[in-house]
């Protein structure tokens, strides 16, 4: 039996990061992976979707070349080539993880791993043991009883990335990050897209103003949006698919080539030996403490299978914290109230902290500032005037309670707010921090200035 200090089950952005950090700290480490190194994020999630979205953005540029004083007469899309590029990007990133495993002298054990008692893992008949086992098995597309996925006419995000041909009509059920990103991609490619959202607004976790702006932008692009609506059944017996949608006005039948189910994720915790070992689970999540220790000593869990936000950067942060605690380092528990969320549709969305509604519900006396990109010189020059930056401060102490952005490139801007909140900065400190001009990022300073009644360019 092979013996290690640390074995990681799963090699996504939680698993492979945990393995690398463990190796850096001098621990003999192995990773067990049943499919491809990098997990869903690198192979079927974060990375390949961004490649698809970039192709959509470039295609949009070509369509609007005249807006920039340019004449492009002959252009078209090759849907299969767009998909192929996306898969190539994913393959390159997965190969990069292979290189990192080799560089850090981490053993990669291929196959389906099952947890055993006594801090052991069985991988298809062969046993391995470790002083510490980290479970990082991630999640998959969740299925609704009314929307069973057949992989052809009713699909999840995985099939949405590799369709053999572009659908003429697509229904997207769910308007979280996955739903709106695919809605934007397919709409940009020329597919007729309808979004069906159960709640009363799209991107429901975002600030109300952000949701309203995205709905305006999407409708302007030709995307049909149905909120407070529920798909109660689908009929796939014909050439396409018929979805029965229940709304406040009654039932409506929508016809499309394909329905994309984007209604959340399901933790991959079945058949991995949790019951055998006695690891506690509640509502599809493995229960852990602040350092990702389960109720059974020597077993840990990180990423989408734990109660925190199901985001790649959260899994990576949890991985590092978990391993550093194992190695005896002094670590602070992760602040889940200061995790940035990003959606990569067009316009992009980025946010951190409390929404305006949440801040009021928690009893804060607040100052709210908002700066539209229509007043930004850089945004005007770039032809990207949709959106705004919105900031929320505690009126009494100046604490930065929340920051919400929608517009071009805002996913690259949100880190300023995350860092500012981590360092407990105040509104006045942000206001007096000189931002470069002309940039999209100066909209943050201008929004803060608006909150304090000092805005110059609005």
**Domain's final residue, options 263, 286, 315:** 263
What is the spatial distance between Cα 282 and Cα 340, in angstroms, rounded to a whole number? Answer: 25
Distances in whole angstroms, Cα of residue 334 to Cα of each of 97, 317, 319: 25, 8, 11
Contact indicator for 315, 288 with CB cutoff of 8 Å: no
**Domain's final residue, options 217, 237, 263:** 263
What is the spatial distance between Cα 252 and Cα 301, in angstroms, rounded to a whole number? Answer: 43
* Residue 117 within any structural domain of the chain: yes
Tokens for 135? 């479970």
Contact indicator for 9, 121 with CB cutoff of 8 Å: yes
Residues 421 and 293 in one domain: no
Find the helix or strand (DSSP H, E) in which 187 lies.
Answer: helix 177-189
* Residue 342 within any structural domain of the chain: no
Distances in whole angstroms, Cα of residue 455 to Cα of each of 125, 300, 394: 67, 49, 18
Can the peptide bond before residue 382 be classed as cis, meaning omega within 30 degrees of 0?
no
Q: For the residues of 129-180, what is the DSSP string, one character each? A: EEEEEEE---EEE--BTTB---SSSEE-HHHHTS-SS--SEEEEE--SHHHH
Residues 285 and 298 in one domain: yes
Residues 38 and 131 in one domain: yes
Residues 445 and 414 in one domain: yes
**pLDDT for the residue numbered 184:** 97
Residue 169 CB neighbours (<10 A): 17
* Residue 145 within any structural domain of the chain: no
Angle at 45 between CA 148 and CA 422, to 5 degrees: 120
Contact indicator for 402, 355 with CB cutoff of 8 Å: yes
* Catalytic-residue membership of 428: no
Contact indicator for 241, 83 with CB cutoff of 8 Å: no
pLDDT digit string, tens, across residues 169-207: 999 999 999 999 999 999 999 999 999 999 999 999 999
> What radius of gyration do the chain's Cα atoms show?
23
Close Cβ partners of 65 (under 8 Å, ≥ 6 residues apart): 71, 72
Return binding residues for NAD(+): 174-181, 197, 264
Contact indicator for 360, 320 with CB cutoff of 8 Å: no
Residues 224 and 205 in one domain: yes
Rounded to an integer, what is the distance from CA 206 to the centroid of its chain? 13
Q: Which residues pair with 407 in a beta bridge?
A: 348
Residue ranges for the chain with pLDDT beneath 70: 1
Residues 248 and 277 in one domain: no
**Domain's final residue, options 238, 263, 288:** 263
* Residue 146 within any structural domain of the chain: no
pLDDT digit string, tens, across residues 390-428: 999 999 999 999 999 999 999 999 999 999 999 999 999
Residues 418 and 329 in one domain: no
Nearest to 8, CA basis, from 25, 28, 26, 24: 28
Angle at 235 between CA 231 and CA 240, to 5 degrees: 105
Close Cβ partners of 377 (under 8 Å, ≥ 6 residues apart): 437, 438
Residues 316 and 443 in one domain: no
Return binding residues: 50, 113, 174-181, 197, 264, 304
- Kindly report the CATH number assigned to the domain that includes residue 200: 3.50.50.60
* Residue 41 within any structural domain of the chain: yes
- Kindly report the CATH number assigned to the domain that includes residue 394: 3.30.390.30
Residues 94 and 190 in one domain: no
* Residue 53 within any structural domain of the chain: yes
Residues 61 and 197 in one domain: no
Return binding residues for FAD: 50, 113, 304
CA atoms in the 13 A half-sphere facing the CB of 414: 23
Beta strands (DSSP E) in 248-347 are 250-256, 258-261, 265-267, 281-282, 285-286, 299-301, 341-343
* Residue 457 within any structural domain of the chain: no
Structural domain boundaries enclosing 330 = 2-140+266-336
Residues 290 and 352 in one domain: no
**pLDDT for the residue numbered 46:** 87
Residue 269 DSSP label: -
What is the spatial distance between Cα 191 and Cα 286, in angstroms, rounded to a whole number? Answer: 39
* Residue 147 within any structural domain of the chain: no
Contact indicator for 352, 414 with CB cutoff of 8 Å: yes
Coil, helix or strand at residue 351: strand
Coil, helix or strand at residue 190: coil
pTM above 0.75, yes or no: yes
Residues 104 and 87 in one domain: yes
What is the spatial distance between Cα 122 and Cα 1, in angstroms, rounded to a whole number? Answer: 10
Q: How many domains does the chain have?
A: 3
Rounded to an integer, what is the distance from CA 342 to the centroid of its chain? 6
């Amino acid at each position: 039996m092979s013996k290690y200090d640390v074995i990681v089950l799963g090699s996504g952005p939680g698993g492979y990061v945990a393995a690398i950090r463990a190796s850096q700290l001098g621990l003999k480490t192995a990773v067990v992976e049943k499919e491809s190194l990098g997990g869903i994020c690198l192979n079927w999630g974060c990375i390949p979707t961004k490649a698809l979205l970039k192709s959509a953005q470039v295609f949009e540029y070509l369509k609007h070349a005249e807006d920039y004083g340019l004449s492009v007469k002959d252009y078209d899309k090759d849907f299969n080539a767009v998909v192929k590029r996306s898969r190539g990007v994913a393959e390159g990133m997965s190969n990069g993880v292979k290189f990192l495993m080799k560089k850090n002298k981490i053993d990669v054990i291929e196959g389906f791993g099952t947890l055993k008692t006594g801090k052991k893992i069985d991988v298809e008949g062969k046993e391995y043991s470790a002083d510490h086992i980290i479970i990082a098995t991630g999640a998959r597309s969740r299925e609704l009883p009314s929307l069973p996925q057949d992989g052809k006419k009713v699909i999840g995000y995985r099939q949405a990335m590799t369709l053999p041909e572009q659908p003429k009509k697509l229904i997207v059920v769910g308007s979280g990050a996955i739903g709106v990103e695919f809605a934007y991609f397919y709409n940009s490619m020329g597919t007729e897209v309808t979004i069906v959202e159960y709640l009363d607004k799209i991107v429901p976790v975002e600030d109300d103003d952000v949701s309203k702006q995205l709905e305006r932008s999407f409708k302007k692009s030709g995307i049909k949006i149905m909120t407070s609506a529920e798909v109660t059944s689908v009929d796939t017996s014909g050439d396409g698919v018929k979805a029965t949608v229940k709304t406040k006005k009654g039932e409506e039948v929508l016809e499309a080539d394909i329905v994309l189910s984007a209604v959340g994720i399901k933790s991959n915790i079945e058949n991995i030996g949790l019951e055998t070992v006695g690891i506690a689970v509640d509502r599809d999540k493995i229960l852990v403490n602040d350092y990702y220790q389960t109720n059974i000593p020597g077993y840990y869990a990180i990423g989408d299978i734990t109660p925190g936000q199901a985001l790649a950067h959260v899994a990576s942060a949890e991985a590092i914290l978990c391993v550093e605690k194992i190695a005896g380092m002094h670590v602070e528990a992760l602040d889940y109230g200061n995790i940035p969320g990003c959606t990569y549709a067009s316009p992009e969305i980025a946010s951190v902290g409390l929404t305006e509604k949440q801040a009021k519900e928690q009893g804060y006396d607040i100052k709210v500032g908002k700066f539209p990109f229509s007043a930004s010189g850089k945004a005007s020059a770039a032809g990207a005037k949709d959106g705004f930056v919105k900031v929320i401060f505690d009126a009494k102490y100046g604490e930065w309670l929340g920051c919400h952005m929608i517009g071009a490139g805002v996913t690259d801007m949100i880190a300023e707010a995350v860092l500012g909140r981590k360092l407990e900065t105040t509104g006045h400190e942000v206001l007096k921090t000189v931002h470069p001009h002309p940039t999209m990022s100066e909209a943050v300073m201008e929004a803060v200035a608006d909150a304090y009644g000092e805005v110059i360019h609005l």
